[in-house]
Amino acid sequence: MTANGQLTPVERFDGFYVKREDLACAGNPLMPCGAKVRQYTAMVKAAPANAVVAVGCSRFSAMQIYVAAAAKQFNRAALIVVPAARQRSQATRWAMAQGAEVVEVRPGYPSQCRAILRRLAKERGLAVVRWNAKAAAQDAAAQCASRCWRPGLGWPSRNSGCNRRPNRPARRA
C-alpha cells in the first residue's frame, strides 16, 4: 500500500512513459509536493500527536522544506538543524517563513547537525517524528505497481483496457 493510498499517474512524455511523482500530494501551489512529501506526511500522521517534526541536514537540503511543510500542515512544532553560513539558503529561509525553529551550527558537518538535533530533543524532552526508510521504500515499491505494470506479470494484454502499453519494436527472426 502506498503512503496515502493512491498511485501517481504514468503518462506518455516525448515518446517515453514517465511516473508523475511530482503530482504526489499536489494541491496547494504554495506547498511542496512529491514522493518524499507523501511519505513524510504519512510518517507524521502515524507519530504521536505531541511529536515534533525535525531534521538535521545540509543547508541546501529540501528535507527542511518537507519538515516545515508537514509541521505547518499538522500544526506541530518544527526543529531544523543546519550548518551556519553567511547567507541562508532558500530552503532555510522558506522553512523559517513557515514557522520552523532553525538552529544553525558551525562547522556544520551532517553528522554534527544530526547529533545536535538528538541532543536538543533529549534536553527538551521532545518526541521526534523519525524518517522511516523502510516505509519510504515500501511506498516507492507500491508506486511502481501502477495499474498497467504488474510485478512478475509484466504488461497486460491489449484487451485489458490499459492504454499505456509501450510500443515495442518487432522482433527479428
Res 5 pLDDT > 70:
no
Flag whether pLDDT at 132 surpasses 60.
yes
CATH 3.40.50.1100 residue window(s) in the chain: 52-126
End-to-end CA distance of the chain: 42
What 3 state SS string does the chain have?
CCCCCCCCCEEEECCEEEECHHHCCCCCCCCCCCHHHHHHHHHHHHCCCCCEEEEECCCCCCHHHHHHHHHHHCCCCEEEEEECCCCCCHHHHHHHHCCCEEEEECCCCHHHHHHHHHHHHHHHCCCEECCCHHHHHHHHHHHHCCCCCECCCECCCHHHCCCCCCCCCCCCC
CATH classification code of 52-126: 3.40.50.1100
**Residue 166, all three cell numbers:** 509501450
Q: How confident is the model at residue 26 (pLDDT cuts 50, 70, 90)?
A: low
Helix 63-73 with 90-97: angle, nearest 10 deg = 10
pLDDT at residue 128, rounded to an integer: 94
Mean pLDDT estimate for the chain: 80
> 159: pLDDT confidence band, cut at 50, 70 and 90?
very low
123 pLDDT more than 70: yes
Interval 46-55: pLDDT, tens:
999 999 999 9
| For residue 146, pLDDT beyond 80 | no
- Alpha carbon distances (Å) from 111 to 87, 115, 141: 21, 6, 29
Stronger pLDDT, 136 or 22, i.e. the higher one: 136
pLDDT score of 118 more than 90: yes
